[in-house]
Amino acid sequence: MILVSNREPYMHSMQPDGIRCEMPAGGLVSALEPIARGCGGTWIAHGSGSADRETVDANDRLRVPPGEPSYTLRRVWLSEEEEKGYYLGYANESLWPLCHNAFVRPVFRQQDWEHYRTVNARFADAVAQEARSEAPMVIVQDYHFALLPRMIRERLPNATIVTFWHIPWPNAEVFGICPHAAELLDGLLGSDIIGFQVPLFRINLIDCVERTLESRVSREDWSVRYGGKTSRNCTYPISIAWPARSEPVAVPALSARKSLDMKADAKLILAVGRLDYTKGIPEFLAAFEDLLLRYPEWRGRIHLYYVAAPSRGGVESYRNLRRQCLKISAAINARFETEDYKPLQFMDEHFARDDLRALYREADICAVPSLHDGMNLVAKEFVAERENSDGVLILSRFAGAAQELPEALAVNPFDIAQLASTLKAALEMPLVEQGERMHRMRETVRNKNIYRWAGRMLEDAVRLRSRKRLLKVRTAAQERGRRRNLRTQPDPATLNRARNDANTPDP
C-alpha cells in the first residue's frame, strides 16, 4: 500500500539542542498515522522539516515511527518557490477557501496553478518509483493532489487508486468559478474510488461533474463514467483511534486550571484547533465575551482556554487572523479581568499530544465552533477522553461530525447570541443529562473509529480490485477464444466455394 499526502507524519527540525522529531498538528496525520502503523507500506509526503534531509537515506527514505519502525516514509523535496505556489498558493489560497463556506474569497494565480501541476507530477513519479508491483494500491489524500490520480493512472494503468477528500466539496455554482474546474475533475476521476466525509459532498461532486465534463453520472450507485472508465463516489466519515484502556495519559506537564489560577468550583471551557479562519475562532471569542456581558453572574466563575496551533503562517489571511484573535483575547481580558480573575488564555502554540489529552480531561466544556469543516476530529477526541461520561460538547452544525454526534449541543457559529446562550446552557447542564449525551457519543466514536473508516475504504478498494482482475481474466479469455475461432474458421472465399460445391448436383 502506498499512501500519499502533503503533510508528513514525522517532521525533523533543527533545534539548538540537536534534531527534534515531531508529529505535526492536523486532522489528516492524526487519523492516518495509526492506519499506516497497522498496514505497513510506504507513506510519500513533502519533506518540510528543517532537518528532514539530514534524517533520510540515499533514496530519501526512513523507517518510522522512531523507536518502533513499522512503515517507510519517503520524502519528496520541493523548492521554496514550488512550495509557495503549490501549497500556500493553489492549495491554500485557491482550493481551501473555494471548498469552505467561510466567505474568504479564493485567489487564482496562473503561476500557482502551474506549480500545483508540477508538484502533483513529481509525486506521481515518486509513486511510480515506490510501487513494488504494476498494480499497487494507492491511497491519495486531500485537496493538495486533485491532479495526482490521473497522473498515477498514466504511469501505472493497473493501480487501484482511492482518493480521500478530507474537506467539503462545494456546490456546482461555487465550484464553477474555478478557472481550472475541468482539469481538477479530470484529475480526480483518475481514481477508482473518491471518498468523502458526508453524503452532501459526493452529491455536490456529481453535480459538478455533470455540469463540467462530457460524462455519464449515476445517482443510484454514485458513479461517474468518464473517458471509458468508471469512478465511484463513496462516503467514509473519518474518525480517531479509540484510546486503549491500558494507554495512560502521561502526568500532565500542563494544567489549564493552574495556569488560569482557577477557583475549585470554576468551570473550564476548552477549544482546540489549527489557527484557521474556517474554525470560527473570533466568533467563539465574541460569544464568550457576550456571555460575560449578558450574564454577569458567570464572571469570575468561567474560564476559556483556547489552543490555536499555528498553521499556514506563510498566508497573509492566516497572519491577520492570528493578530485579530490576539487582539480580541487581550480586549476581553482587559475588560473583565480582576485581581483574582483572568477570563481567558489564548495559546497560539503547538502542544504535545499528551498535553492535549490532559486538557480534554480537565475541561468541563469543549467547543468546536467551525464555520465549515469536513469532519472535525477535536470533537471526537474530546468525547474519547471523557471516561466518566461527563462534560459537554458544543458542536457547529456545519462540521461533518455533527451528523454523527446529534447528542452534542448544535450551534450556528455565525449567530453569536445563539452561541453565547448555548454556552450558558452547557454551563448549566445537569450531570445526569451530560452523562446520557456523552455515553451515546462515546458509543458512536468507539464503534465508528479510524480502523472502521480505513477498513471500509480498503475493503471497497480490494473488492474493486478483484472485480477488475476477474474482468481482465474474462476479457483475456474472450480474446483468446476470438483468436482461436478466427484461426479455425475458413476464410470467406473457401466457405463460398464449399457452399457452391454443396449445391452442385452430383453427376
Residues at the contact surface with ligand GDG, assessed by CB under 6 A: 25-28, 30-31, 166-167, 238, 272-274, 307, 309, 350-351, 353, 356, 373-378, 381
Sequence-ordered alpha helix ranges (H) in 61-193: 80-82, 96-99, 110-130, 148-155, 172-175, 181-188
What residue type is assigned to position 152 of the chain?
I
Give least dist CB 253 to ligand GDG, A: 13
φ and ψ at residue 218, rounded to 5 degrees: -125, 125
Give least dist CB 372 to ligand GDG, A: 9
For residues 208 and 189, give the distance between their C-alpha atoms in angstroms, rounded to a whole number: 12
For residues 92 and 144, give the distance between their C-alpha atoms in angstroms, rounded to a whole number: 9
Do 52 and 19 touch, CB atoms closer than 8 A? no
* Cell (9 digits) for 244: 486503549
Q: Bridge partners of 43? A: 3, 73
For residues 313 and 316, give the distance between their C-alpha atoms in angstroms, rounded to a whole number: 7
Residue nearer to ligand GDG on the CB measure, 138 or 356: 356
Task: Find the residue with minimal CB distance to ligand GDG.
Answer: 27
* Cell (9 digits) for 413: 457559529
Q: How far is CA 51 from CA 11, 19, 139, in A?
A: 8, 7, 27
Give least dist CB 102 to ligand GDG, A: 11
Residue nearer to ligand GDG on the CB measure, 30 or 55: 30
CA atoms in the 13 A half-sphere facing the CB of 395: 28
For residues 272 and 286, give the distance between their C-alpha atoms in angstroms, rounded to a whole number: 16
Residue nearer to ligand GDG on the CB measure, 149 or 400: 400
Q: Comparing C-alpha atoms, which of 344, 493, 367 is closest to residue 425?
A: 367
Residue nearer to ligand GDG on the CB measure, 11 or 420: 11
Give least dist CB 73 to ligand GDG, A: 18
Residue nearer to ligand GDG on the CB measure, 341 or 453: 453
Give least dist CB 98 to ligand GDG, A: 14
Where does residue 500 fall: left (phi above 0), alpha (psi -120 to 50 degrees), or beta otherwise? alpha
Sequence-ordered alpha helix ranges (H) in 189-234: 199-212
Residue nearer to ligand GDG on the CB measure, 9 or 212: 9
Give least dist CB 355 to ligand GDG, A: 8
Give least dist CB 345 to ligand GDG, A: 14
Give least dist CB 236 to ligand GDG, A: 10
Residue nearer to ligand GDG on the CB measure, 99 or 438: 99
Residue nearer to ligand GDG on the CB measure, 147 or 375: 375
